[in-house]
Each structure stands twice: as structure tokens, then as C-alpha cells.
């Protein structure tokens, strides 16, 4: 006896398996602290049916995909200068000591107060 095709029977149940796989990816992404908590995640189901010329049967393609949250931006602070005559960029690490070659007299601006000091 032939069984009518339903969302549960198509491809011998493969659609449910594919959906479960994508749902697991989405939930893992939601639990990942490196992604934005409020980002919208989606699961898309696509069923493509291409009938033959006589319209007696059709080839069916089944796919399930997901769209995950974007990673949260990470901020840091880097300093630019020259060391031994070469251009470098370094992150702020207090134990570094002298990071750059001496540049001579310069002005330093405190961006919070707007105060300018000369070295």
C-alpha cells in the first residue's frame, strides 16, 4: 500500500534528522558566549521538486540550513611606533617597558580631560 508523502515521511524521515542537526547547531550557537545573545537565528527548510516531462514523477531535493549569530566584537588597545627603526604595533602590556624608539619632544593629549602635556 502506498503511503502519501508528508513532512514526516518524505525521504524516509530524513527531513526530521536534518532539522534536528540544524537545531543542535542553533542551540549551540545561542549558548556560545562569543556570539550576540539577542541575534536572531533561523532554520530554513527547502524542498525542491523537479517533475519529469510527462509530469508522472519528480526528483526531490531536501535541504535544511541555519543562519547563526554573529560573533561579538572584541575590543583591545594597540600602540603604533617604531622599534629599532621598524614600524610595529603592540598591545598595551604594563610589563613591556620601553615599547618604541624615543621620538624626541612630543605632546600628549588626555582624551578624557582634553589636557595637553609636553614631554
In this predicted structure, what is the pLDDT of residue 103?
A: 56
Please report whether residue 55 resides in a domain. Answer: yes
Same domain, 14 and 63: yes
Listed residue (79, 81, 46, 50) closest to 64, CA to CA: 46
Give 86 or 50, the one with higher predicted confidence.
Answer: 50
Query: Predicted confidence band at 88 (pLDDT cuts at 50, 70, 90)?
Result: confident
Same domain, 87 and 46: no
Same domain, 62 and 31: yes
Question: What is the number of structural domains in the chain?
Answer: 2
Same domain, 62 and 15: yes
| Highest mean pLDDT, choosing among 51-55, 82-86, 106-110, 115-119 | 51-55
Same domain, 105 and 61: no
Listed residue (36, 31, 28, 20) closest to 69, CA to CA: 36
Residue 71 predicted with pLDDT over 70: yes
As a whole number, mean pLDDT of residues 20-34 equals 96
Same domain, 53 and 86: no
Please report whether residue 97 resides in a domain. Answer: yes
DSSP 68: P
Same domain, 17 and 50: yes
Note down the domain range covering 106. Answer: 78-118
Amino acid at each position: 500500500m502506498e503511503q502519501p508523502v508528508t513532512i514526516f515521511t518524505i525521504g524516509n524521515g530524513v527531513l526530521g534528522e536534518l532539522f534536528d542537526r540544524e537545531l543542535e547547531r542553533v542551540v549551540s550557537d545561542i549558548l556560545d558566549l562569543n556570539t550576540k545573545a539577542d541575534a536572531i537565528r533561523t532554520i530554513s527548510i527547502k524542498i525542491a521538486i523537479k517533475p519529469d516531462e510527462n509530469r508522472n514523477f519528480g526528483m526531490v531535493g531536501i535541504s535544511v540550513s541555519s543562519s547563526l549569530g554573529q560573533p561579538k566584537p572584541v575590543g583591545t588597545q594597540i600602540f603604533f611606533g617604531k622599534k629599532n627603526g621598524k614600524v610595529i604595533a603592540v598591545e598595551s602590556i604594563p610589563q613591556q617597558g620601553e615599547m618604541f624608539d624615543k621620538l624626541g619632544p612630543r605632546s600628549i593629549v588626555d582624551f578624557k580631560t582634553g589636557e595637553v602635556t609636553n614631554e
